[in-house]
Structure 1
Amino acid sequence: MDAEKGITEDPSSRLNTISPSPEAKRKSLMCRRQYLMFSLCCASLVITIAIVIIILAFTVFKKKDPTITVNDITITGVSPDIDLPSLSIDFNITLSVNSTVYNPNRASFKHYPGTVDIFYREADIGYVIVEEGTIPERGSEEVMSNVTLTVDSFGQMNLTEYLIRDLLGGEIKFDTTARIPGKVTILGFVKVNIVAKSVCHIVVGIPTFEVKEQKCSS
């Protein structure tokens, strides 16, 4: 019994059972509040940035298809040879089309090789390739394209008879369709595919072979 009474209690055990002081509790609560406020501020900032990006993507940086404007269409080469008795025809004509491609986007437009198709009485009789390139934001690029139409182009579509009639009638009507595909990069990382298009109606006078009328729409 005496031995049991002589056992002394360890002071450290008392320290472990002592609850935190009010000052320590207050500091812990303040740290938690500061952490919560910091988390809320970060979340609000991320949400705000996301909203701004979405608004810009659908307004300022909204994708717009480039437009093609035909500035001039000229005849750069003509060699007609018509034999009425035998109804034979040897004919070729070179059209030079000067167009401007305008990029309305707030990002550069990198376009791939495009095409300009030539139609006569709704039949595709020829085309020309437009070389690839890059148009700066809200900038424009002049595009020159030439296409040579021969009698074979008309003969393969059984259009020779109509061509002779139009030559004798004093004018030939053509339609052109231009298509230039490409892409723009919005906000530096969003890549969007777009296409520049244009449709033109051309009337060439005979025998001067000058363009009498041209109407284009994008």
Structure 2
Amino acid sequence: MDVESKQGNKSTGMTPPPNYGSRRGRNCCFICLAILLLLGLLFLILGLTVFKAKKPVITVNSVSLRDMDFSLDIVRLQVHLNVTLQADLSVRNPNRVGFKYDSTSAILQYKGQVVGDAPIPAGGIGSRDTRPMNITLTVMADRLLSNSGLYSDILSGSGMLPLTTYVKLSGVVRVLFKIHVKTTTSCDLYIDVLNRKLANQTCHYKTKL
């Protein structure tokens, strides 16, 4: 009886072996979580430094007067005017990823009124690449002649016709996530109608992320 009781005491006093499997599982989870956090931090740092979205830039290289027909009927007080402009643009993408832009139009304005446009199809520009754009803008004579201010501009002593070109590109740069970009350019032009030449031009640029 004493032997059995001692054996019983020994059996009840034994401790179970440690569960190494569950400890290893927890360690693996912690390691995986730490790796994911480090990767996320790495991507965030790259996104804010190396792959940070930069603004595409439209540059107007030149604007030329391609064609112009002008005649003045003094008896009937009528002006006949046809103007065609050639704009040489370039769009530079400084990003390390591609830039995709939507279809748009180049617009020609006379004192705020649209008197001509030219379509620009959708496209893309590779990383750190520059794409040339050659645009032909023809004045819609009926719209231009319907503006009463035209006669005072042409018949004035200077004979200057003020026009404004406007181009806006809207697109997306993908750096970890989508970033919408808008870049615009406008040029104020002065055409010497009597001498049939482009007298002056001033261009402005604006980009928004």
TM score, norm. by length of structure 1: 0.79
Q: Does residue 79 of structure 1 match 2:66?
A: no
Give the direction of change, closer, same or farther, for the CA distance of 1:92–1:56 in structure 2 (3 Å limit): same
The residue number in structure 2 matching 1:68 is: 58
CA distance in 1, matches of 2:65, 2:147: 23
Q: 2:195 aligns with which of 208, 211, 217?
A: 208
Q: What's the offset of the Cα at 1:20?
A: 4.8
Q: 2:83 aligns with which of 85, 93, 96?
A: 93
The residue number in structure 2 matching 1:106 is: 96
Matched residue type, 2:160: E
Matched residue type, 1:172: L
Give the direction of change, closer, same or farther, for the CA distance of 1:200–1:113 in structure 2 (3 Å limit): same
The residue number in structure 1 matching 2:165 is: 176
The residue number in structure 2 matching 1:34 is: 24
Q: Is the 8 A contact 2:65 2:197 kept in 1?
A: yes
Q: Is the 8 A contact 2:79 2:145 kept in 1?
A: no
CA distance in 1, matches of 2:79, 2:193: 15
SS in 1 for 2:139: strand
Of the two, which has the highest radius of gyration?
Answer: 1
Cα deviations by residue, 1:52-110 (Å, 9 ceiling, x for unpaired):
22223333333333111001111111111111232111110000101001112221112
CA distance in 1, matches of 2:146, 2:194: 24
Matched residue type, 2:71: D
Cα deviations by residue, 1:8-29 (Å, 9 ceiling, x for unpaired):
x9xxx99x968456xx43xx3x
Q: Is the 8 A contact 2:154 2:161 kept in 1?
A: no
The residue number in structure 1 matching 2:122 is: 132
SS in 2 for 1:80: strand
Q: Is the 8 A contact 2:154 2:193 kept in 1?
A: no
Gaps of 5+ in 2: none
After superposition, the CA RMSD in angstroms is 2.6
SS in 2 for 1:99: strand
Query: Structure 1 vs Structure 2: percent identity of aligned residues?
Result: 23
Gaps of 5+ in 1: 1-8
**4+ runs of 1 displaced by more than 6 Å?**
none
TM score, norm. by length of structure 2: 0.82
Q: Does residue 158 of structure 1 match 2:145?
A: no
Q: What's the offset of the Cα at 1:123?
A: 2.5
Q: What's the offset of the Cα at 1:195?
A: 1.9
CA distance in 2, matches of 1:165, 1:63: 50
Give the direction of change, closer, same or farther, for the CA distance of 1:117–1:162 in structure 2 (3 Å limit): farther
Give the direction of change, closer, same or farther, for the CA distance of 1:165–1:56 in structure 2 (3 Å limit): farther
CA distance in 1, matches of 2:72, 2:117: 24
